[in-house]
Amino acid sequence: MAVLNILKYPDETLKQCSQPVEDFNDELATFLSDLEQTMRAGPGGVGIAAPQVNVFQRIAIVDVSAKPKIKHNGCMILINPEIKTWKGMKVGREGCMSVPDYTGNVIRAEKITIQAANALGESINYECEGYEARAVQHELDHLDGLLFLDRLVSRRSDLFKRKVYK
């Protein structure tokens, strides 16, 4: 297992669109464990997407189970994920391991349903809401080359500089 290097804004490679995973093999399993380890090594690591470590495949991991008092699905391995339904809209603050110096306010759906493959290629459906739904939408954006910076309502009033990433 290995902690992988995280690409940081304004690295242009973060804008690349990722390709679907086709082979569910040992190489993928090894990458998934490295990706998960990288997420857990990061400060506040509740999610990570493959393009953040320079791998342009449609893979994300979200695990918000360490946050108190919220609904969650545990550790979700999301391969070739698709959001099927959206419900409600809410503004919330987001950070990103690829944008360590800022947080920002972004509008996201409050409830979503998603379909994704797991490490074995089996199709799984999830229902997510609140903080977990926000984390999933954030990570899935990375697969299309989008950062939360691209979704700010206003750069002037919705972007916040942070001194230390906690």
Number of residues that bind Zn ion (CB under 5 A): 1
Given 14, 28, 76, 96, the residue binding Zn ion (CB under 5 A): 96
Residue number with CB closer to Zn ion (76 or 96): 96
Task: Find all residues with CB under 8 Å of 93, minimum gap 6, and list them.
Answer: 103, 104, 105, 106, 160
DSSP string, 144-165: TT--GGGGBS-TTTSEEE-SS-
Residue 139 appears among annotated catalytic residues: yes
- 35 SS3 class: helix
Q: Which is nearer to Zn ion, 96 or 143 (CB)?
A: 96
Residue in 12, 36, 132, 139 annotated catalytic: 139
Q: Name the minimum Å distance from CB 7 to Zn ion.
A: 10
Give catalytic residues, as residue numbers: 139
Residues in contact with Zn ion by CB under 5 A are 96
